[in-house]
Amino acid sequence: MNIYIDEAGQSARLDSGTVSYVLEVVDGKYLVHRYFGPSLRRWHGCGTPVYYKRAYSTAHDCSVPNVSFDDFPFEYPARGRGDFRIPSLQVQRQDGISVVEPLFKSWRVLEGKPGIPGLPSVFQGDTDAATLELPARSYEFLSLYGTHAKEANRSRFALHSGIQKIESVRGSSSPQHQPFFALLSPGTTETSGEVYAMHLVYSGNFLAQAEVDSFGNVRAQIGIHPEGFAWRLEPGGHFATPEAILNYGGSGLNSMSHGFHRLYREHLMPRHFAETMRPVLLNSWESMYYDVSMDKIETQAALAARAGMELFVLDDGWFRADNSSSSSMGDWQCNLEKLPGGIRRAAGIVHGKGLKFGLWFEPEAVCKNSLLYRKHPEWVLHIPGYEPVEGRHEYLLDLGRQEVQDYLVGVLDSYLGSGDVDYIKWDMNRPLTDVCSLALGPEQKGETAYRYILGLYEVLHRVTSAYPGVLIEGCSSGGARFDPGMLYYVAQNWASDNTDAFDRTVIQDGFSLLYPPVATGAHVSITPNHQTGRYTPLDTRYQIARLFNLGYELDLTKCSEEELEMIAGQIAEHKGERAWMQGGIFSRQEAPNRNYMVWSVMGPDRSQCQVMVFQKFYDPLCCHGRFRIQYLDPDTSYLETGSGQIYGGEELMQIGFTVPLVKEDFHAFTFHFRRLDTEKMPPVNSNQFRSGILKRGLNPPPDCVIF
């Protein structure tokens, strides 16, 4: 990324060759936003608004004629001095006055990007909550909403006058709203239209909002939710806010996604696992639930090894006093009646089958009947005078306390230190309530929720630093805490407790807007599905999971020999393609009608492309659509390896192929296109999709600019 500051030091342009971001200092003290979008060679002051004299306004010591601060594009706005729109900063002084006016002091270009103390960041950087000023024109607001087992649904509407917002006050990023939104030019599709996106690298309460002012200007913003939050700042003290990613895509939603995917895969998730082939796992949950035993572990592991799986994960139940969620949480002592010989013996059985061994934890929670709670009731979040609210029979530990952090690290170290555990599924199954820490004085109570997240990050930092080779999968009742903050520490995340293939098309499609497929756990489960009761073919269940982080979650003893052979074939196929698919370009291709969903992964060198077409229902009225595949090389030919048919790249992009009418609901068609010529094409990058990412202060990948 190049940074240009003009000779007078009054404007700065950050440019990646794809995207530019322009700031200007007005009168040496007001820092304002001037531009964010496709790359500019230079900025000559173009596009600055002309103000007119009007009543019911304020006057300021500013050289801009007739300026009103109520529509001035401040880079870091605050209320109380003439700007009445949404602020980036609110401060209450010791004298009770809550007005502050941030003024420009100086800027300098740093070598590299400094880290944020205690917070995750791309390339370990430093930033504010992001505010973006956009010019007056029409936009559409895109976000992801949902609930448990129905995550990542798209919401899209025309931006209108006033404030539109999404938020979480649940203590985590939540399944209700992803800490992301995008402003789109009207009619934006997967392959056309402008996209201005924001994504917060944080796992706690957030507020994301866009305000259209009286003149049609748009102020977009994302950061810590102010409700319930206050931080006492001593003289000379510092406070670090979470990092926010700004992403511009000039060629539709795919251009936005390609930028996010590359950034997160190469510059956010743990580097040890960024390019490591992820193991195909078998999770015990839907085969055992809480009723675990050594015999079941041995039987399932043997069948998993026979099918070619590489990791067996023992989920909840191994420490429970009974077969329910009501006991023992927080003590983390293996129930030796269920598992004689403990976790070491269970791991030995699994390792003996040639598999890696994974173990489920929910470190942040504690049950009322646990030994830990009886010994340290002051360690839970609770409000004096109120009985703490339970969720899934659990309270939450006060992770802001150092002694709680030390206890959790000690627990995990007791299992990881022996080398028996290769993988952790890190779960968290309830929202925060009773958000009060007994360790903080009255003047610091507003810090509790934020300190909880800082404590979580500290525990994860200590564990991942001590055991960098242990793969961690994040989970929070599915996708309730699937966010960039967690992805900094955990290389993959469980997208949803709903494993139904039909529902998973929507869930995984939504998350694919933001996260590379390798970060999204996708499992093949039993039919009828345990969450929905729906029947879907085994091949469809596999194809829906295939392009993502493939795993299995079913009782293999209930599979027929034919099904076991099919599963073995699926895993062998996946192992043969995951090396190029994990680093490939994932795209959502446009379907001819709503009865189909189309995904593709193209190899980094464009030599091959895997396409999945999902037919929701048998419907003859929808059978004549053509499926066009974008981003191929138009000047060469491709062989569809299943049929032997040859297509020109431009044919597939402009005309498309057709699929037969199959009399079956929930059917998945798959196509593998291999380039016929031997000439190596240049790698695909986001420049070809007119995308870019900005985040304050970051040295970006070559095709992005980041502030």
d(CA 187, CA 209): 21
Tally Cβ neighbours within 10 Å of residue 419.
12
Amino acid letter at 507? I
**Residue 368 belongs to what domain range?**
364-467
- Domain's final residue, options 413, 443, 467: 467
Residue among 181, 193, 88 nearest 696 (CA): 88
Residue among 619, 620, 616 nearest 501 (CA): 616
- Domain's final residue, options 434, 467, 500: 467
146: left (phi over 0), alpha (psi -120 to 50) or beta: left
- Residue 705's pLDDT is what? 40
Give the CA distances from residue 465 to residues 263, 413, 462, in Å, rounded to whole numbers and listed in that order.
22, 12, 5
- Residue ranges, the chain, pLDDT below 50: 124-128, 678-681, 685-691, 695-707
Give the CA distances from residue 507 to residues 156, 491, 688, in Å, rounded to whole numbers and listed in that order.
16, 19, 27
C-alpha dihedral over 494, 496, 502, 505, to 10 degrees?
A: -60
CB burial readout 326-344, b (16+ within 10 A) else e: bbbbbbbebbeebbeeebe
Q: What are phi and psi for residue 153, nearest 5 degrees?
A: -85, 145
- Residue 125's pLDDT is what? 36
E strand residue ranges, 581-689: 585-589, 596-602, 608-615, 637-640, 646-648, 667-675
- Residue 365's pLDDT is what? 98
**CA angle, residues 296, 298, 304, in degrees to nearest 5:** 100
d(CA 457, CA 473): 15
Asked whether the beta carbons of 318 and 297 are under 8 A apart, the reply is no
- Residue 656's pLDDT is what? 97
Asked whether the beta carbons of 588 and 631 are under 8 A apart, the reply is no
Residue 194 lies in a domain: no
Is 71 annotated in the active site? no
> What is the DSSP pairing of strand 180-184 with strand 195-201?
antiparallel
d(CA 674, CA 606): 9
Question: What is the torsional sign of CA 287, 470, 398, 404?
Answer: positive
Residue 677 lies in a domain: yes
Burial of 288 (0-12, 13-18, 19+ CB in 10 A): buried
Question: What is the torsional sign of CA 563, 568, 573, 574?
Answer: positive
Alpha helices by DSSP H, 328-447: 342-352, 371-375, 402-416
Amino acid letter at 551? G
Residue 252 lies in a domain: no
Asked whether the beta carbons of 180 and 208 are under 8 A apart, the reply is yes
Residue 510 lies in a domain: no
Reported residue count of the chain is 707
Tokens representing 306 are: 């026979």
Give the CA distances from residue 300 to residues 312, 345, 569, 582, in Å, rounded to whole numbers and listed in that order.
8, 15, 18, 27
Residue 157 lies in a domain: no
C-alpha dihedral over 663, 154, 457, 464, to 10 degrees?
A: 30
Sheet strand arrangement including 218-224: 130-134, 218-224, 206-212, 162-168
Residue 669 lies in a domain: yes
d(CA 493, CA 489): 11
Residue 460 lies in a domain: yes
| Active-site pick, 497, 500, 503, 633 | 497
Beta bridge partners of 313: 283, 358
- Residue 16's pLDDT is what? 86
Q: What is the CATH number of the domain that holds 672?
A: 2.60.40.1180
Is 95 annotated in the active site? no
Contacts of 576 (CB under 8 A, 6+ apart): none
> What is the DSSP pairing of strand 637-640 with strand 646-648?
antiparallel
Alpha helices by DSSP H, 467-610: 484-487, 501-511, 538-546, 561-582
Residue 433 lies in a domain: yes
d(CA 316, CA 318): 6
How many domains in the chain? 2
d(CA 70, CA 165): 20
Give the CA distances from residue 39 to residues 4, 188, 293, 317, in Å, rounded to whole numbers and listed in that order.
13, 20, 60, 54
Strand, coil or helix: 21: strand
d(CA 550, CA 535): 20
Alpha helices by DSSP H, 225-362: 253-267, 271-274, 285-288, 294-307, 342-352
- Domain's final residue, options 450, 467, 484: 467
| Active-site pick, 15, 71, 316, 427 | 427
Tally Cβ neighbours within 10 Å of residue 214.
10
d(CA 412, CA 279): 22
d(CA 397, CA 388): 11
